[in-house]
Every structure is written in C-alpha cells, then in structure tokens.
Structure 1
Amino acid sequence: MNLKDKWINDHFELYWDELYCYSCNIVRDRQLAEDVVQEVFVQIWNNFHQLSILDAKSYLMRSVRNRSILALKTVDFDTIQLETVYHTLTQNENLSEEEQGYYKEELVHLIFAKAKEVLPKRCLEVFQLRYGSHLSYKQIAEQLSISESTVDKQIHKAIKSLKTNLPYAIDVMTVLVFLSL
C-alpha cells in the first residue's frame, strides 16, 4: 500500500465518525453529511501530492466545515434547521462576516414570510415599514395617518404574534435589531 492509500485509509477509519457527526450537526441531513465527508476524502485523494497537511484532524474538521457550509447553499431551510445550523456553527467556530450575514438574511426572510402568513393587514404594513423600510415610529404614523402609540401597539402585537407562531425559538428581537442596523 502506498503512502497516499495508507494516509486516506488510516484517517478515514480514525475520524469518519467524528467528521460525519460534525457535518450532520451542520447540514442536518444524514445522507448529505455522508456525502460531505466522502467528498472531503475524495478531494484529498485527488490532490494528495499537492497538499501539505500538518495536523490531519484540524485539516479534516475545517474541510468538512467548509464543505458543509457549501452544501447548505443548495438546501432549502425551514426555521428549525436554519436556527439550529446557525447555533451549531457559532458555538463551534467563529463564522466569517459573510457567513453570519447569509444566515441572518435567511432568518430575516423566514420572519417576513411568517409575518405575511399570520399578521393582520395593518399590523403587517406597520411591521414592514418599520423593519423593511427602516422608518421611525413617527414616520410610519405620518405615512399611515395614525398615532405613534398605535404604531407602537402594532409593532408589539407583530412581535408577540411572531414569537408565538414561529415553530422554533428564533430570537426575533435579535434578528429585528440586525434589520435596524
């Protein structure tokens, strides 16, 4: 057995379970996690002589993480999956600003989609003006010819409704603060 075959076989046997579990925690799909880990080893196989791997476990974990993130871009999320993926990634490693932005944007999209489903027309309109158009309470009140206290009540009603209607504990306020930036 040559050096490449030995390295691949030894590290595949040694780290397969850990790499698979790590990918599964990120992608939340067993088959996709298997594919991710296999793709990492195929990539190493194809480029073995060009690689300089000093710490095999770190290299493999980073490769699985990056490949898992790439795989996520092809997956349609529901709220539970998205929130879980975001928490898994932020707890295990720091996300790049681009990755943080991607997941926050997905959360925002889910919140607005749920808002369209569950909020009454006027409440949705106020919510969209506040968090979609970034208008102040005063600007919304002027535009809709209502009082600022009515705007405040509609925003509170929208947030309360979203918190109870989202199927998972998304921190709605954190995401909405992100929208306000």
Structure 2
Amino acid sequence: MGMKTRVAWAAALLTLGVPAVASAVKVGEPLYVKAKNTRVLATPSGSDNAVAVLQPGEQVTWGGADAKQKQWHRVTTATGKKGFVFQTNLSTTPPNMELVTDGGGKQQVDPKKFVASGAAVKALSPGAERYGKDKGGDHQKAVANIQALEKLAKKVSTEDIAAHVTAAGLFPVVGPRDAQAKAPQQPAAKKRSGKQ
C-alpha cells in the first residue's frame, strides 16, 4: 500500500469517526488505561456516575465503541464492572514503566504506585528544580513559572473543569463528580400529620 493510499484510508477513517482503538483491537481483547483517575461511567456521558475509577496500566476488556457516540468505548474492568471510557484514556499497549535511579542503579516503578505517590502530578522533580535555579536566568524564571502553574492547578477542582466545559460548549469528558457511584440513599420516612 502506497503512502497516498494510507493517507486516504486514514482520512476516510477520521471522516467516518472510526476510533483508532477500534482498528487496532477486536471485541474481547485487552486495552490499557493511560490516564490518571480514568472514570468508567455507567452510560456514554461525561456527566454520569462512575462505576469504577482506574489508574494508568490497569487492563480492561474492550467491548467496542458505542453505536451513537463513537468516542465512548464499552469496557469491562478486571473486577468485572462494566461501563464506558472516553477513547483517549485507552491504549493498545501498557504504559511505559517510569524509570528512576536509586543508589547505584535503575529501578522500574509501577505506574499505579507512581500515580498514587503524587509525583505524577508534579511537573518538576527536585533535581530539575535545583538545576534550573543553579543555571539562573531564563532557567530560573522557567522553574518559577512552572511552580506557579502547579500551585494554580491544585486549586482547580473537577467541578471547575466540568463547569468550564459546559460554559465553553466543549464535549463533556469530565463530569461534576469524580468519585465512584454510591448506592442511592432511601428517602427518609415521611412523618405523618393529621389523623390516622
């Protein structure tokens, strides 16, 4: 297949809205979560309750794209929970293991443990901060700017993101709730008034 033919096929697939994931796997095959706190939703809607929250590296079984909203994909988690995940949170390959040095050699870190440690949300490691400060000039300014952005990012909640998406008319990927769905509460018994 020539280059022009491949480009034409890719353009046709994009035009038809066929997700890249769909062309790479078959129903029943595994996919991997690639984003932190990926919500598995009860329905293909960015504002629905989550039935599970997954971390990078977790494996799911692919059930195909939703017929009406092809950017949402049916998945079954390792614990058997079924729901929908936005396509950009899925990958055909597991994420690369994070490499760190410890003492005299390299160690691999489990992506789930790396995310849980809080290090994954930090843009600069302590070593990068020292390097930028020691170099001075624009390097020092860049470190200060990134630290200011990190501080600002900590103030932005999931609710803020969901409100912005709605106000801007964007496709809702993040809902107002970032927690797993809880069992519905029974309404409190109504007090009777009047005669019995």
Query: TM-score normalized by structure 2?
Result: 0.25
Higher strand share: 2
Higher helix share: 1
Query: TM-score normalized by structure 1?
Result: 0.27
